Amino acid sequence: MHVGKATFLKVLFLIVGVGILWIFYDQTLHRHRKGRIKLKDTGRPVQHMVQTDHDVKTHVHAFIPNKDSVHLTVEKEADVSIKSPGENNRTGTYPHGSCIKGFIQKKLREFMLSFDPDMHMFITQNYRQWGVLGKSSLNGLPFDFSSANLVRLDTLLKLLPSNGRPVIKSDNGCRRCLVLGSSGVLLDKGLGPVIDAFDVVIRMNDAPVKGYEKDVGSRTDFRIFYPESSTLNQADLDSSAYYVVVMYKSNDLNWLQAILTKVKPTGHFWKSIAQKLDIDPARFLILNPQVLQVAAREHVRLQGKWPTMGLIAMTFALHYCDEVDLAGFGYGSSILNHYYEHITGGQPDGGTQHNATAEKDYLIWLLHEGIIGHDLTGVYKDHK
């Protein structure tokens, strides 16, 4: 009898002790959470939260890519700290976590049965083995190569040492990419360190880096451009970046050949082009025109219009990356067309050849469906 009573008291004391410990833990956790960052779960596994060297303002709604728990949106000022930049201004990316390999490709296949995750991104010397180029009914650039252009392409490829398989130092096997536009919405956000923390940073055209690092970061892994947007300042040439040339027309093949052989380019171009570029030939890549074809006919039905560089870069990222965010997209009467020019108006160059409205709606749809994660600069997020 006494033994049973003693056992009962021990169990009772144990239950009371556990209860006290639980109350203490709950109150401590509540105090820790109170007044801290409010976090929004958008359904994508990421790492732990980090912060930039600059305060993230409330209106920025900035996202910092992580992998350990959930994909997060900052809804008030952050107060944690980012790692110091490592070699070549790389932040050492983030610790390995739960980045989902093939996340975007799997998600896109739910809506686009024709999506081909294995499509070649860059032209290589064995392209004829693919059995697809030069056979499109579109018969010509920018969506395919004509027979005459295939002959030019063969000559050009002999000048390119690249095997079409770029090596990115911060690529750890699951690629978290940022597609960075050039809209003036980037200014005064202090997103530079956030941008540099992605595994892969994709820039476009001749958008400068030097002097704008605070807002646009300093890293470039891919710069996608074409001859008329090749007028880069020497200070913005990154020896570790890959320069991806989009072939809109036959003269673009001739231009690249002239750049590689260091002769003066000739031919008709609609604006000034670079006469030379001090870039290692091994850093040049030629974008597969199939990327433009699927961008204009499958991702967005452009009905004869050409995709802008923004849509081309996004389509590339949707095939090349595992997780994607965007920043620097969005035009408007009160927003500078480009962060490096004091011009407003809301329409990109060559606007009559493009369908900016259809492209904008597509980016908003990608965000809404969770295919891409966040608009760091916030112009498109408000359309959800």
Yes or no: say if 259 and 253 are a contact pair by the CB < 8 Å rule: no
In angstroms, the CA 231 to CA 340 distance is 14
| Per-residue pLDDT at 249 exceeds 60 | yes
pLDDT of residue 44: 43
pLDDT of residue 258: 97
- Token pair for 305: 């219009």
| Per-residue pLDDT at 197 exceeds 90 | yes
Lowest mean pLDDT among 38-42, 343-347, 353-357: 38-42
> Cα 320–325–330 angle (5° rounding)?
115
Most confidently predicted of 208-222, 320-334, 336-350: 208-222
- What's the pLDDT band for 189 if we cut at 50, 70, 90? very high
What contacts 86, CB < 8 A, 6 or more positions away? 92
Mean pLDDT of the region 133-159: 89
pLDDT of residue 206: 95
Most confidently predicted of 46-55, 163-172, 368-377: 368-377
- Token pair for 219: 């890293």
| Per-residue pLDDT at 42 exceeds 50 | no
What spatial distance separates the first Cα and last Cα of the chain, rounded to whole Å?
Answer: 69
Each domain of the chain, given as residue ranges in start order, spans 1-34, 39-383
- Token pair for 45: 């596994």
According to CATH, the superfamily of the domain at 39-383 is Glycosyl transferase family 29 (3.90.1480.20)
| Per-residue pLDDT at 125 exceeds 50 | yes
| Per-residue pLDDT at 57 exceeds 50 | no
Mind giving me the DSSP string for 41-54? Answer: E-S---B-----SS
- Model-level pTM? 0.75
Which of 193-224 are b and which e, b meaning 16 or more Cβ less than 10 Å from the residue's Cβ? bbbbbbbbbbbbbbbbbeebebbbbbbbbbbb
